């Protein structure tokens, strides 16, 4: 099936899977490596994709995906279009806390090409949190990796008492204040 489903496969024990979707392969790699450097007590695997739908040939090898992070480069309208096109291939139930938008490149104020309105609109329409970061800066890279790891941990169900939906509602309520 072309559309990404959150619960069509069985979860593996003590593990979590993150899917990064974005047009900049190099940046994805850098972020993935930063996430893997963090301390964690479960097995993690990170899948990198340029767009959705994912190639069907590898469907049977792919594990269940716990969190999808769509990467938008604020300097590239092309990356926004890419993400918008890919969103059509995600099942609705993913948007109950298992999707987030990661906006990169916010350090370079002069090169902004994507409107803030468009991004905030995206976050509202898809009821998902929007994270801003600058992956070229070491500090921001580490902080983003830690945030994503924490979100992944929650979405995979490793934090007792906190579900993906309750966490994303918490994040949205904080953002609105």
Partner 1 sequence: MDETVAEYIRRTVLKIPRDEIKTMLQKWGLLSETQLQTINFRQIKENISQDVVQLCEEISADIKQAAVLDIIYNHVYPNKRVWSVYQMKKTGEETEFFDLTDFKKKFKRRLRSALKNVTINFREYEDNAIWIRIAWGTPYTKPNQYKPSYVVYHSQTPYVFISASVLKSNLPLLCQALVLASNYHDIREMELRSHSLNSLKDIVFKRYSQNFQTHYPRPLQERNVAPESADLRIIEENKNEKERIERVNREVFGDGPQPKLEFAQYKLETMFKSDPQMDVLDKKEPFRCLVKFSSPHLLESLKSLAPAGMADAPISPLLTCIPQKARNYFKIRERKHFFPGSFVSP
Which element (helix H / strand E) includes 139?
helix 138-155
- Minimum Å distance from CB 175 to partner 1? 28
Site string for partner 1, 78-107 (x = CB under 8 A): xx----------------------------
73 DSSP β-pair partners:
104
Task: Count the site residues for partner 1 by CB under 8 A.
Answer: 23
Give the separation between CA 168 and CA 172, rounded to whole angstroms.
Answer: 6
- The answer to whether 34 contacts partner 1 (rule: CB under 8 A) is no
Residues between 115 and 174 that touch partner 1 (CB under 8 A): none
Q: Among 4, 6, 34, 44, which residue sits at the site for partner 1 (rule: CB under 8 A)?
A: 44
Burial 48-72 (b: 16+ CB within 10 A, else e): bbeebebeeeeeeeeebbbbbbbbb
22 forms part of the interface with partner 1 (CB under 8 A): yes
107, 146 contact by CB (below 8 A): no
> Which is nearer to partner 1, 59 or 124 (by Cβ)?
59
Pick between residue 7 and residue 78 the one whose CB is nearest to partner 1: 78
Residue 119 main-chain phi, psi, to 5 deg: -70, -45
Site for partner 1 in 51-70 (CB under 8 A): 51, 54-55, 58
């Amino acid at each position: 099936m072309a559309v990404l489903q959150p619960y069509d496969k069985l979860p593996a024990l003590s593990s979590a899977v993150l899917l990064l979707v974005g047009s900049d392969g190099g940046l994805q790699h850098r972020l993935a490596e930063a996430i893997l450097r963090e301390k964690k007590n479960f097995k993690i695997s990170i899948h990198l994709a340029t767009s959705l739908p994912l190639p069907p040939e590898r469907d049977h090898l792919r594990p269940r995906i716990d969190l999808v992070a769509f990467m938008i480069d604020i300097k590239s309208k092309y990356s926004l279009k890419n993400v918008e096109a890919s969103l059509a291939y995600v099942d609705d139930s993913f948007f109950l806390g298992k999707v987030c938008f990661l906006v990169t490149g916010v350090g370079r104020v002069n090169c902004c090409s994507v409107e803030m309105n468009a991004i905030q609109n995206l976050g509202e329409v898809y009821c998902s949190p929007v994270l801003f970061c600058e992956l070229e800066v070491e500090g921001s890279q580490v902080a983003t990796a830690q945030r994503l790891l924490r979100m992944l941990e929650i979405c995979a169900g490793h934090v007792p008492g906190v579900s993906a939906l309750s966490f994303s509602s918490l994040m949205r309520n904080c953002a609105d204040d």
